[in-house]
Structure 1
């Protein structure tokens, strides 16, 4: 573990949610398939943690015979989930420590980011910053960006839904996934 200031970084004090997944019984009635607490992954060197809640591996999603649940379980168990799930989606929490400075990165994805707790700053590579509070939403369209938590005392939590997208080109230039500022924190998605 690394340290944040003089204290060890143990991850977010915000509660890990219970994930409830529904399904159908033999009579086609709705049931709870499972209820569990997913594990958070700590990134002490960057002062944040991430909790993957669910993934899909195809669009449209195949839910027959719980195919999506089985694929999600296999993806998580494989331990190689990238920033984006090729041809699919990821929903995850990202918890940012007080006074954390994010790293610039770009994923080949269309992301919805909803601030659930605290405040965050979205910084783009043109130097602009946008301050976001609880309930604010960022529609992140494969741009180079970083997230910061400006509070000196409070943690921030953002719910992200990441969706694979077609390769993005601007003025004939391909904008590929770029995780170079934090290669140890984020696994490549291989979506380029």
Structure 2
């Protein structure tokens, strides 16, 4: 179930996707600034793949003179964690059949949408929810993991992550905890 050398998911059921970024021409008319195929980064022995589609580095984003696009392009050249502490991240994630990621928590508010396949969300309390295409998760800096329970089909999710202020529950301040294997996160596209 590994990703081939071109970095694309090895499942015929998951198609190659494109991102279209819009802007304005000098007459203030809407145009397509750029269009690109998703660039996949293999992770965890090719059992999972990330595609960082877009990011912002301030709130509210500055769209003037395509400042946000320039900021995103600069961010792609630097090592990046799962969350941009100064803004947002738009990321697509593919999970191979039978894959189980590490239990982890990011200091972020995440909107997760299942695009293809099925996947279980497991929380550190033991709560489990079986998600299917179209289901949405609002992950609020909670400790969680994703398990693709299918033995044959890849699962795909789209995530929007927004950095948050530190979360305190009682006397405990929760921080980022990427779990085992976090040092395996690739820094640049192949």
Shift of 1:180: 3.0
Distance 1:187 1:86, change over 3 A: farther
SS in structure 1 opposite 2:76?
Answer: helix
Aligned to 2:161: 162
Q: Deviations for 1:145-191, whole angstroms, at most 9, x for unmatched residues? A: 00010001000000000001111110021101001312223489xxx
| Conservation of the 8 A alpha-carbon contact between 1:105 and 1:178 | yes
Instruction: Determine whether 1:77 maps to 2:77.
Output: yes
Aligned to 1:29: 29
Q: Deviations for 1:91-142, whole angstroms, at most 9, x for unmatched residues? A: 1111000011121110000000000000000000011211000100000000
Aligned to 1:42: 42
In structure 2, the gaps of 5 or more residues are none
- The separation in 2 between residues aligned to 1:187 and 1:40, in whole angstroms, is 11
TM-score by length of 2: 0.90
- The separation in 2 between residues aligned to 1:15 and 1:119, in whole angstroms, is 16
Q: Which moved more, 1:176-185 or 1:24-33?
A: 176-185
TM-score by length of 1: 0.89
- The separation in 1 between residues aligned to 2:103 and 2:17, in whole angstroms, is 28
| Conservation of the 8 A alpha-carbon contact between 1:9 and 1:44 | no
Distance 1:70 1:9, change over 3 A: closer
| Conservation of the 8 A alpha-carbon contact between 2:48 and 2:93 | yes
Match runs of 1:122-161 below 5 Å: 122-161=121-160
Structure 1 segments, 4+ long, off by >3 Å, are: 8-11, 185-188
| Conservation of the 8 A alpha-carbon contact between 2:42 and 2:186 | no
Query: What's the RMSD between the two structures over aligned residues?
Result: 1.7
Aligned to 1:94: 93
| Conservation of the 8 A alpha-carbon contact between 1:46 and 1:100 | no
| Conservation of the 8 A alpha-carbon contact between 1:83 and 1:187 | no
Q: Deviations for 1:53-112, whole angstroms, at most 9, x for unmatched residues? A: 10000110000000000000110122x111101121001111000011121110000000
Question: How many residue pairs end up in the alignment?
Answer: 181
